[in-house]
A and B are shown apart, each in its own frame.
Chain A
Amino acid sequence: MIDFLIPVMAAAISAATPLLLAATGELVVERSGVLNLGIEGMMLMGAMAGFAAALLTGSHLAGLLAAALAGMLMALVFAVLTLSLSANQVASGLALTIFGIGLSALVGAPYVGQPVPALPKLDIAGLSDLPVAGPLLFRHDGLVYFSVAAVAATWWFLNRTHAGLKLRAVGESAQAAHALGHPVIAIRYAASLFGGAMAGLAGAFLSLSYTPMWMEGMTAGRGWIALALVVFSAWRPWRALVGAYLFGGVGIVQLHAQGAWGLPSEMFSMLPYVATVLVLTVISARSQAGGTGSRAPADLGKPFRASR
C-alpha cells in the first residue's frame, strides 16, 4: 500500500506546485486590492516563453527567467489598463486570458512537439534516500521547493514587514492609505507584477517539469483553479498551500481512478472542476454564516482614484 501511496502523493505535490505558485502570486495581488482574472493567460505565456527560451538557449534558468518576464509583461498590460486607466478589472482580466491563450498559441506554434529536458530533480545528499520521506519530499525539482519557500516568504512579508502592512492597507482601504501618503497605485503595480511573475513561473513548471513540452492551452483551467484557491485560502498563504495540495491530490487521484468501476473517464476528469465548485460553496456558506477571518480585502476589485 505504502509503495503505491508514496508515488501518488509525490505526484500530488508535483501537480499542486503550479497551482501553488500561481495562487501565491494572486494572493498578494488580491491583498493589494486588485483582482486579476488573467492568471490563465499569464500562465500560458509563461509556459510558452519558458519552454521556448529553454529550448533555444539550452538553459533552464533562462527558461525560468523568460517565463517570469513574460508573466510580468502580461501583468503590466493589465496594470496599465486597470490601475492607470481605471478600466474594469473583471473585463481586463478576461481580455488578458483570451489574449494570452491566443498569443501563446500563435507565437508558440513552431515549438509544438519539440522535446526539452525536464528540470533536474534536486538530489539532496542523505535526505533523498530516506525511506518514505525521501521519495515523497526530497526528489523534486527546484521549483517545488521554491513554491514552498515562496509561501513562507509571502507570509513573512505580509505579516511581519512594514512594506507588507502597507500592501495590506492599500487593499483594505485605498482612500485611507492614500490619505496617509502611501503610494496606492505604485504598490498595486508592484503586487500585480509579482503576481505576473509567479503565474509565469507556474506556467514554466508545467512546460519544463510537469509535462516537459509545449502545447496550446496546456494549462487546462489551472489558472482559474488557482483563483479559486485564493478564495479557499481566505487570503492566507499557508492555507493556500494546504488547498493547493488538496487540489493536486484530487487531480492525481482522478488520473489513477480513470476507468474504475466501469465509469467513463470524463466523469473523473470533471472531478477537479466539480471539487472547485463544491469547495467554493462550502467556503462561502461558512463565511456567510459568520465565520471569522475569511473576509476578502475590503477594497478588492474596486478601482482607486484619489479624490480631490
Chain B
Amino acid sequence: MRLELVRRPESPWFGIVAPLLAVALTVASGFVLFLALGLDPVETLYQFMLAPLTTFQSLTELGVKGAPLALIATGLAIGFRANVWNIGAEGQLIIGAIAAGGVALAFWNEAGWWILPLMLAASVAGGMAWAAIPAFLKTRFGVNEILTSLMLTYVASLILQMLVFGPWKDPDGFNYPQTRLFSEAALLPVLIEGTRLHAGALVALLAALAAWFVMARTVTGFEIAVVGDAPQAARFAGFSTRRTVWLSFLVGGGAAGLAGAFEAAGPIGQLVPVLTPGYGFTAIIVAFLGRLSPPGIVAAAALMALTYIGGENAQITAGLPQAATGVFQGMLLFYLLATDGLLRFRIRLTGARSPRAAQP
C-alpha cells in the first residue's frame, strides 16, 4: 500500500477549516502530553485554554499580549507574502524598544506631550534601521535574509544587555540590570482604567486594517503578491523585486520596532534585559496561522496570547513549566501546515504494486 496525494480543487472553506482543525488537534495532543507528564489533563487544559477567558481582567490581558503579536505579524506577513523571510523581528523589536527607551531616558525629567510621539517615531526608525541591514545585504550581495536577520537578533539582544547592565542602568536601582522607570509622559495611555490594556492595542487593530486595504486593494499589495507567487511574472509586469524586499523589511522592522516601544512604554514601563517572551518569533506562527491575511492575524494573535496567559496560569496552578507555551505554539503551526496539506490534497491509498509516481 502507498499513500498517494491527489490535488483537490481549491475551496474558500480551507482557509477557515484548516486553522480550526489545527487548534482541535493541538488540544488533543496537549491532552496526551499532559497525561504523559503526569498532570491532570482536563484541569491543565482548562487552566491553559479556558480559564483566561473567564475574567474581565484576563480578557484585557489578551489584548495586552495580542497587540504586539498582531502588530508584528501584520508587518511580517507582508514580507512572507512576497517570499521575503524576515525572521529577525525579535531583534527589530529590541532595537525599537532601545530607541524609544533612549528618548524616554533622555527626557526623563521633562513632561512634554511630544515625548511619547517622539519615542514611537524613534522606535519605528530603529526597527527599520535594524531591518535595513538584512535588506541591504540581500539586495546588494544576495545574502540569505533568514540567517542574517536571525543573527542580528542575537546581536540586538546583547546590545540591550550591554546598555541595561552598563550605561543605562538605573542609578537608584540597587544595581539591578534595568533602566529608570519611564516618566508619566513617556508611558502609553491605558484604555481601560485598572487594567494594563494600552493604546497600542488600538494601533495594532488600525495597522491590521491598513495592511488589509493595501494588500487587497492597491497596486502595491498586488505587486507584493505577484513577486511572491511568480517572480518572473513580476519582472514581466515591471515590478521590482528589490523594492519589494526593501518594503517588506522596512514595514516588518518598523512594525516590530513599534511593538517594542509599546512593550517598553506599556506593560513594562522601563527597559529590562529580556523584554518579551519571544513575541518576535511567535509572531511568525501568528502570521501563518492567520493565513498571512490581517483579519486572520488578529484572530491568531488572540489565540497565541491565550497560550501565553494560559501558560502562566498553568504554571501557577498546575506547576507546568513555562516552556509548555512554546510546545503548544510549535504544535499549532505543525498541525496547521499538515491540515493544509491534507485539505489541499486528497489522500488515496493505492495498491501494493503501485509505482513511485506517488506524489502528484
Q: Is A88 an interface residue when CB atoms closer than 8 A count as contact? A: yes
Interface segment among A49-57, A125-133, A272-280: the answer is A272-280
Q: Is A270 an interface residue when CB atoms closer than 8 A count as contact? A: yes
Please encode chain B, from 143 to 159, with 1 for each CB lying within 8 Å of some chain A CB and 0 for all others: 11011101110110011
Q: Is B203 an interface residue when CB atoms closer than 8 A count as contact? A: no
**A residues 28-84 touching B (CB-CB < 8 Å):** 37, 41, 77, 80-81, 84
Q: Is B281 an interface residue when CB atoms closer than 8 A count as contact? A: yes
The reply to whether B5 and A84 contact each other, CB–CB distance below 8 Å, is yes
The reply to whether B359 and A228 contact each other, CB–CB distance below 8 Å, is no
Q: Is A157 an interface residue when CB atoms closer than 8 A count as contact? A: no
A80, A85, A231: which contacts B147 (Cβ < 8 A)?
A: A231
- Cα(A95)–Cα(B144), bound, Å: 19
- Cα(A62)–Cα(B148), bound, Å: 36
The reply to whether A270 and B155 contact each other, CB–CB distance below 8 Å, is yes
Q: Is A305 an interface residue when CB atoms closer than 8 A count as contact? A: yes
B148, B285, B356, B357: which contacts A280 (Cβ < 8 A)?
A: B148
Q: Is A183 an interface residue when CB atoms closer than 8 A count as contact? A: yes
Within the complex, the shortest CB–CB distance from A246 to chain B, in Å, comes to: 16
A-B contact count (CB 8 A): 172
Q: Is B137 an interface residue when CB atoms closer than 8 A count as contact? A: yes
- Look across to chain A and name the residue whose beta carbon is closest to the beta carbon of B140: A285
**A residues 287-308 touching B (CB-CB < 8 Å):** 287-288, 304-306, 308
Q: Hey, which chain A residues are within 8 Å of B166, CB to CB?
A: 264
Known contacts A266-B162, A273-B155: A87-B338 contact under CB 8 Å: yes
Within the complex, the shortest CB–CB distance from B284 to chain A, in Å, comes to: 6
Within the complex, the shortest CB–CB distance from A82 to chain B, in Å, comes to: 8
Q: Is B342 an interface residue when CB atoms closer than 8 A count as contact? A: yes
Q: Hey, which chain A residues are within 8 Å of B322, CB to CB?
A: 105
- Cα(A308)–Cα(B281), bound, Å: 39
**B residues 312-352 touching A (CB-CB < 8 Å):** 321-331, 333-334, 337-338, 340-342, 344-345
The reply to whether B338 and A81 contact each other, CB–CB distance below 8 Å, is yes
- Cα(A198)–Cα(B284), bound, Å: 27
Q: Hey, which chain B residues are within 8 Å of A90, CB to CB?
A: 85, 146
Q: Hey, which chain B residues are within 8 Å of A103, CB to CB?
A: 323, 326-327, 330
- Cα(A107)–Cα(B37), bound, Å: 8
The reply to whether A100 and B360 contact each other, CB–CB distance below 8 Å, is no
The reply to whether B329 and A91 contact each other, CB–CB distance below 8 Å, is no
Q: Hey, which chain A residues are within 8 Å of B358, CB to CB?
A: 185, 306
The reply to whether A100 and B323 contact each other, CB–CB distance below 8 Å, is no
- Cα(A228)–Cα(B329), bound, Å: 26
Q: Hey, which chain B residues are within 8 Å of A96, CB to CB?
A: 330
The reply to whether B337 and A92 contact each other, CB–CB distance below 8 Å, is yes
The reply to whether A273 and B154 contact each other, CB–CB distance below 8 Å, is yes
- Look across to chain B and name the residue whose beta carbon is closest to the beta carbon of A38: B330
A181, A267, A269, A284: which contacts B144 (Cβ < 8 A)?
A: A284
Please encode chain B, from 273 to 312, with 1 for each CB lying within 8 Å of some chain A CB and 0 for all others: 0000000011011001000000000000000000000000
Q: Hey, which chain A residues are within 8 Å of B334, CB to CB?
A: 77, 81, 92, 95, 99
| Interface size class of chain B, counting residues whose CB lies under 8 Å from the partner chain | 35 or more
A86, A95, A102, A228: which contacts B341 (Cβ < 8 A)?
A: A86
- Cα(A259)–Cα(B275), bound, Å: 25
Within the complex, the shortest CB–CB distance from B350 to chain A, in Å, comes to: 13
The reply to whether A106 and B321 contact each other, CB–CB distance below 8 Å, is yes
- Cα(A85)–Cα(B5), bound, Å: 8
Known contacts A81-B334, A87-B340, A106-B37: A284-B142 contact under CB 8 Å: yes
The reply to whether A95 and B330 contact each other, CB–CB distance below 8 Å, is yes
- Cα(A184)–Cα(B284), bound, Å: 30
Please encode chain B, from 56 to 72, with 1 for each CB lying within 8 Å of some chain A CB and 0 for all others: 00000000000000000
Q: Is A206 an interface residue when CB atoms closer than 8 A count as contact? A: no
Known contacts A87-B337, A91-B337: A231-B144 contact under CB 8 Å: yes
B133, B137, B158, B285: which contacts A95 (Cβ < 8 A)?
A: B285
Known contacts A77-B334, A277-B152, A280-B143: A105-B326 contact under CB 8 Å: yes
Q: Hey, which chain B residues are within 8 Å of A37, CB to CB?
A: 146
The reply to whether A277 and B151 contact each other, CB–CB distance below 8 Å, is yes
Q: Hey, which chain B residues are within 8 Å of A228, CB to CB?
A: 147, 151
The reply to whether B158 and A269 contact each other, CB–CB distance below 8 Å, is yes
Q: Is A221 an interface residue when CB atoms closer than 8 A count as contact? A: yes
The reply to whether A100 and B330 contact each other, CB–CB distance below 8 Å, is yes
- Cα(A188)–Cα(B35), bound, Å: 34
Q: Is A224 an interface residue when CB atoms closer than 8 A count as contact? A: yes
Q: Hey, which chain B residues are within 8 Å of A172, CB to CB?
A: none
- Look across to chain B and name the residue whose beta carbon is closest to the beta carbon of A106: B323
- Look across to chain A and name the residue whose beta carbon is closest to the beta carbon of B332: A95
- Cα(A15)–Cα(B245), bound, Å: 35
The reply to whether B147 and A280 contact each other, CB–CB distance below 8 Å, is yes
The reply to whether A224 and B143 contact each other, CB–CB distance below 8 Å, is no
Within the complex, the shortest CB–CB distance from B281 to chain A, in Å, comes to: 6
Q: Assuming A183-B356, A305-B5, what are 15 further A-B pairs, CB within 8 angstroms?
A: A37-B146, A81-B338, A88-B337, A91-B288, A99-B331, A106-B37, A227-B147, A228-B147, A264-B165, A266-B159, A266-B162, A269-B158, A270-B159, A284-B137, A288-B142
28 A–B contact pairs at CB < 8 A? A37-B146, A85-B342, A87-B341, A94-B87, A95-B330, A95-B333, A95-B334, A95-B337, A96-B330, A98-B284, A99-B334, A102-B323, A103-B330, A104-B323, A105-B323, A107-B37, A266-B159, A270-B158, A270-B159, A273-B152, A274-B151, A274-B155, A277-B133, A277-B137, A281-B137, A284-B142, A288-B142, A305-B359
5 closest Cβ pairs, A-B complex: A102-B326, A99-B330, A85-B341, A105-B323, A102-B327
A interface with B by C-beta (< 8 Å): 37, 41, 77, 80-81, 84-88, 90-92, 94-96, 98-107, 109, 181, 183-186, 216, 221, 224, 227-228, 231, 264, 266-267, 269-270, 273-274, 276-277, 280-281, 284-285, 287-288, 304-306, 308
